Chain A
Amino acid sequence: MGNVGAKEIPQLLSADGRRIDGRRLDELRSITMKVGPLTRADGSAFVEWGENKVMAAVYGPREVHPRHLMQTSKAIIQCRYNMAAFSVDERKRPGQDRRSQEISKVITEAFESVVFTEEFPKTSIDVYIEVLQANAGTRCAGLVAASLALADAGIPMADLVSAVAVGKVAGRIALDLKKEEDNFGEADLPMALVPQSGRLVLIQMEGHMNRDELRQALDLGTKGCREIYERMREALRAKYDTPGRAEPAGVPA
């Protein structure tokens, strides 16, 4: 890393089907989620996903700041995805660039389909996503963190949004690409799912896949999203499960 001269493509898949970090094709990186680390925000969450570290904070519903953005019939959602200067090997020039604007926009749109915005007319729900360390899949990690933060803020939603990236690595469809696989693989497809309804609320792709591969990728991604969804629910429950209190009993997992 940081070795600019080295253009050699690493071997992404070993003979026995293991990936560069030893995972199988359908395996996620390790994930930890913490709900509510920021006490002064209305809601917050910190997600470590592989080598990604992402913090999300939610404020609102509150007064709309640039007043002309106000909508009389519903709340507006304003997401800001931002990468810290130190989040990648080579210093990222601080501030919004085209990439982060795009990601902010697609994440906003993903949430607009689940948040009950009509309940809070003339207000704004502000979501801040800060990427502290990046290793591919930050928009998905950011989406998951923001989703938890929205739930933590008590904002009514149809469901949590879960997200994961799938891709094509050394000719095979793989779940949750890490940096090397993203850089040297053939395709990267981040997606976000509303698990209860099965609706896709974000899907982007870079690279090439044929129709069968795409179908396979979507299936694998859906499976990944559902796995992450369970982790998200656990994380939310963990915030309120004090050791002394009885375990939730009648909740079908």
Chain B
Amino acid sequence: MGKRLFASVMGYATWREPYVRVVPFAGRYSPKPHDVIVGIVQDVQKTFWLLDIDASRWAPLHTSGTSWEPGPGELDQFLRIGEAVLVAVENLDATGKIGVTMKGEGLGKLSGGTLATVSPAKIPRVIGKGGSMIHSITQLTGTQVAVGQNGRIWIEGSSEGILRVRECLRIIETEGQRSGLTERIEGFLRSTGPTDDTGPRMPPSADEDRPDRNGAREEPSGPDDAPDIPSNESHEGEGSWET
């Protein structure tokens, strides 16, 4: 409309020379190739499972994307409805179909543990710069954590450990826009540290290998951390503003 620009969704608007970028506040997870995500089996078919990945569509996981070789109709011997898996987005086609695979470092069925959910937009914050946040959290709570880009986070460890991770996620989700978040999370965990009976049950050393379980993968998305403190202001999207 002439010189006016309109966003189609509500979000943070940032101006950079000829472009305006709007980072949406809300919306479902939109898959990108190579994203590591947590899916929950919704349906078992002859040759594939259908996973709910919190996107707009379910994603098929074909047997070819796994290391298993079930015969036809034997798929539910490997994965049943309701079970969770860590998978990677493999391809996206124009019709919006989301292909996922379970072949890859750290991917596979998630057994034991529990799932937590945060907004997919907050995932870069959960991981932190270079995985610093997730590293601190796993270290200080003695848990294993797998972070899916779709906002689902799998946690395994002692029940105290899990509760403390959940509390961290809550803090990140509600105060994620403030700076120095990793320090504050560390402070929180250390201050509540005396309940370090988590130690004996789950030696912190055991989780050493965790952060890179997928944390490593997430790092490339680190740059997205940038809009940490939105230099500008929030706009609601339908809003109009001259450019």
Contact = CB atoms under 8 A, between A and B. Distances in A.
Given A196-B240, A237-B234, A237-B236, A154 B56 contact: no
26 contacts: A42-B26, A61-B28, A62-B28, A116-B8, A120-B96, A121-B96, A122-B57, A122-B96, A123-B57, A123-B96, A151-B236, A151-B238, A153-B26, A153-B27, A154-B10, A154-B26, A155-B27, A158-B6, A158-B8, A196-B6, A197-B1, A233-B238, A236-B236, A240-B10, A240-B234, A252-B242
A104 B241 CA distance: 33
Nearest to A125: B56
A116 B26 CA distance: 16
Nearest to B231: A246
B9 A156 contact: yes
B70 interface: no
B213 interface: no
Q: Interface size for chain A: under 10, 10 to 19, 20 to 34, or 35 or more residues?
A: 35 or more
A236 B95 contact: no
Contacts of B8: 116, 156-158
Contacts of A237: 234-236
A151 B95 CA distance: 24
A151 B10 contact: yes
B237 A151 contact: yes
Interface in A213-253: 233, 236-237, 240-241, 245-252
Contact of B9 (A155, A245, A251): A155
Contacts of B57: 61, 63, 122-123
Contact of A159 (B58, B233, B238, B241): B238
A230 B95 CA distance: 37
Q: Interface size for chain B: under 10, 10 to 19, 20 to 34, or 35 or more residues?
A: 20 to 34
B240 A252 contact: yes
Interface in B24-82: 24-28, 56-58
A116 B232 CA distance: 26
B220 interface: no
B1 A233 contact: no
Nearest to B235: A251
A151 B235 CA distance: 12
A63 B9 contact: no
A63 B56 CA distance: 7
Contact of B241 (A152, A197, A252): A252
A60 interface: yes
Interface of A: 42-43, 60-63, 72, 75, 116, 120-123, 151-160, 196-197, 233, 236-237, 240-241, 245-252
Nearest to A36: B26
Contacts of B237: 151
Given A196-B1, A246-B233, A42 B238 contact: no
B95 A121 contact: yes
Contacts of B238: 151, 157, 159-160, 196, 233, 236
A233 B239 contact: yes
Contacts of A75: 56
Contact of B25 (A121, A156, A158, A240): A240
Given A196-B6, A233-B238, A42 B28 contact: yes
A120 B27 CA distance: 12
Nearest to B52: A63
A246 B237 CA distance: 18
A251 B56 contact: no
A155 to B, nearest CB: 7
Interface string B1-35: 10000101110000000000000111110000000
Given A62-B56, A236-B236, 19 more contacts: A60-B28, A61-B28, A75-B56, A121-B95, A122-B57, A123-B57, A151-B236, A156-B9, A157-B238, A158-B6, A160-B238, A196-B238, A236-B238, A237-B234, A240-B236, A241-B234, A248-B233, A248-B234, A250-B241
A247 B9 contact: no
A151 B232 CA distance: 20
